[in-house]
Amino acid sequence: METENQNFQKSSMCSFVPEQEYTEGRRKLMSWLNQQMKIHLLDGRVLVGTFVCTDKDAHIILSSCYEYFNEKDLDTGESRLLGLVMIPGRHIISIHTDVQQTSEQSINTSNSDQT
Amino acid sequence: METDCTPTTNQKNEPAQNPNYNWKDITPEFFESIKDLELGELLHGYFFGLFEAMSAIEIMDPKMDAGMMCNRESNSIKLEDLKLSGLSVSEQISIIDITLACLVSWLEGHSLAQTVFTNLYFQKPYEIKDIPLKAFCICIYKIIESIRDFANRAQVFEEEDFQAALYNYHFFNEISDQRVIGMMREVDESINHILKSNSNCDEESYLALNTRIKFVRLLLQILLSFNRRESHSNLMGETQRLLTTCGLLIPSLIKTVNKGVPNIDHCYYDLGFDPLINQKLLPPTFPRYTKIKTAAEAYLYFDALLTRLKQICKLTNCVSYISALECFIELGHNSHLCIVSRSIMQTLYFPQPNKVFGTQDLGDCLREWAKSFIAPPSLISRLGILTNYQAKDCVHNFFEHCIRPFTGLIQTCGYNKARQRDKLAHLMEEFSALQDESQRIDAFLHSFSSKLDPPKEHLASFSTWIIYHTIRIMIMYLLSGFELELYSAHEYQYIYWYLYQFLYGWLVSTLNRADNVLLGSNSYVDFQKNKTKRNKPKKKKTHPYSQEIVMCHAMQSLTGAYFKTFIGFQLEGKIQTPKHAKFDNERVRYQHRFSAFSAVSVPPPFTYNEFQMTRNQIRDNASADPGILYLNGCELFHQARCLLDTIQQPHSQQVQNLIKVCKTNFVTMKLLASGYMRGPGVSLDFDFTTNSHFPILKLS
Backbone angles phi, psi at B115, to 5 degrees: -120, -95
Segment B97-114, tens digit of pLDDT: 999 999 999 999 888 888
pTM tops 0.90, yes or no: no
**Confidence class for position B617, pLDDT limits 50, 70, 90:** very high
| Position A89 in a domain | yes
Q: Do A55 and B58 touch (CB under 8 A)?
A: no
CB atoms within 10 A of CB B683: 9
**Confidence class for position A3, pLDDT limits 50, 70, 90:** very low
Q: Give the domain extent around A33.
A: 23-97
Q: Do B30 and A95 touch (CB under 8 A)?
A: yes
Q: Do B59 and A88 touch (CB under 8 A)?
A: yes
Q: Decide if A1 touches B, using CB distance below 8 A.
A: no
d(CA B232, CA B128): 40
**Confidence class for position B238, pLDDT limits 50, 70, 90:** confident
Residue B285, min C-alpha distance to chain A (Å): 8
| Position A50 in a domain | yes
Angle at alpha carbon of residue B555, lines to B552 and B558, rounded to 5°: 155
Instruction: Identify the closest residue of chain A to B15 by CA–CA distance.
Output: A77
- Rounded to an integer, the average pLDDT of B43-49 is 86
Instruction: Identify the closest residue of chain A to B46 by CA–CA distance.
Output: A11
Determine the pLDDT at residue B218.
Answer: 95
Mean residue pLDDT of chain A comes to 76
Residue A115, min C-alpha distance to chain B (Å): 25
Q: Decide if A72 touches B, using CB distance below 8 A.
A: no
Determine the pLDDT at residue A18.
Answer: 56
pLDDT above 60 (res A107) = no
Residue, of A9 and B632, whose pLDDT is higher: B632
Residue B82, min C-alpha distance to chain A (Å): 24
| Position A112 in a domain | no
**Confidence class for position A4, pLDDT limits 50, 70, 90:** very low
d(CA B664, CA B699): 12
Determine the 3-state secondary structure of B674 from DSSP. Answer: coil
Beta strands B684-687 and B696-699 are antiparallel
| Position A114 in a domain | no
CA neighbours within 13 Å on the CB side: how many for B514? 27
DSSP string, A22-84: --HHHHHHHHHTTSEEEEEETTS-EEEEEEEEEETT--EEEEEEEEESSHHHHHHT-EEEEEE
Residue B288, min C-alpha distance to chain A (Å): 16
d(CA B137, CA B386): 59
Determine the pLDDT at residue B3.
Answer: 39
Determine the pLDDT at residue B54.
Answer: 87
Determine the pLDDT at residue B71.
Answer: 53
CA neighbours within 13 Å on the CB side: how many for B272? 28
**Confidence class for position B83, pLDDT limits 50, 70, 90:** confident
The b/e string for A54-83 (b: 16+ C-beta within 10 A; e otherwise) is bbbebbbbbbebbbbbeeebbeebbbbebb
Residue in B646, B434, B667, B446 with CA at minimum distance from that of residue B552 = B646
Residue, of B36 and B202, whose pLDDT is higher: B36
Residue among A2, A11, A27, A105 with most chain B CBs within 10 A, to mutate: A11
Determine the pLDDT at residue B354.
Answer: 86
pLDDT above 50 (res B1) = no
User: DSSP secondary-structure letter at B162?
Assistant: -
Secondary structure of B434-503 as H, E, C letters: HHHHHHHHHHHHHHHHCCCCCCCCCCCCHHHHHHHHHHHHHHHHHHHHHHCCCCCHHHHHHHHHHHHHHH
Q: Decide if A14 touches B, using CB distance below 8 A.
A: yes
Residue in B513, B532, B534 with CA at minimum distance from that of residue B369 = B534
Residue, of B268 and B545, whose pLDDT is higher: B545
| Position A8 in a domain | no
| Cα end-to-end span (Å), chain B | 62
**Confidence class for position A101, pLDDT limits 50, 70, 90:** low
CATH of the domain at A40: 2.30.30.100
Q: Do B46 and A14 touch (CB under 8 A)?
A: yes
| Position A67 in a domain | yes
Residue A112, min C-alpha distance to chain B (Å): 21
Q: Do A29 and B70 touch (CB under 8 A)?
A: no
Segment B138-153, tens digit of pLDDT: 999 999 999 999 999 9
What DSSP element (H or E) covers B687? Answer: strand B684-687
Q: What percent of chain B has pLDDT over 70?
A: 89
**B-chain residues near A34 (CB < 8 A):** 45
Segment B638-671, tens digit of pLDDT: 999 999 999 887 888 889 999 999 999 999 999 9
| Position A58 in a domain | yes
Residue B393 vs residues B218, B400, B432: alpha-carbon distances, Å: 50, 10, 21
Determine the pLDDT at residue B636.
Answer: 95
Q: What is the ipTM of this complex?
A: 0.77
Residue A82, min C-alpha distance to chain B (Å): 5
Lowest mean pLDDT among A45-54, B54-63, B208-217, B292-301: B54-63
Determine the 3-state secondary structure of B352 from DSSP. Answer: strand
Residue in B391, B363, B360 with CA at minimum distance from that of residue B377 = B391
Determine the pLDDT at residue B292.
Answer: 85
| Position A108 in a domain | no
Interface A-B, measured as beta-carbon pairs within 8 A, has a size of 167
pLDDT above 50 (res B2) = no
pLDDT above 50 (res B6) = no
**Confidence class for position B527, pLDDT limits 50, 70, 90:** very low
Mean residue pLDDT of chain B comes to 86
**A-chain residues near B43 (CB < 8 A):** 26, 29-30, 33, 53-55
For residue B56, give the nearest of A84, A98, A100 by CB distance. Answer: A84
Number of structural domains in chain A: 1
Segment B108-135, tens digit of pLDDT: 988 888 889 988 898 888 888 889 999 9
Residue B312 vs residues A80, B269, B309, B345: alpha-carbon distances, Å: 42, 39, 5, 6
Burial label, B107 (beta-carbon count in 10 A; 0-12, 13-18, 19+): buried
Determine the 3-state secondary structure of B109 from DSSP. Answer: coil
For residue B34, give the nearest of A41, A58, A67 by CB distance. Answer: A58
- Rounded to an integer, the average pLDDT of B542-570 is 92
Residue A48, phi-psi category: left (phi > 0), alpha (psi -120 to 50), beta (remainder): beta
Determine the pLDDT at residue B467.
Answer: 95
Determine the pLDDT at residue B387.
Answer: 85
**Confidence class for position B429, pLDDT limits 50, 70, 90:** very high
Segment B380-401, tens digit of pLDDT: 888 888 888 889 999 999 999 9
Residues of A numbered 35-54 whose beta carbons fall under 8 angstroms of chain B's beta carbons: which are they?
A: 36, 38, 41, 43-45, 47-48, 52-54
Residue B608 vs residues B403, B472, B485, B613, B615: alpha-carbon distances, Å: 35, 22, 22, 9, 11
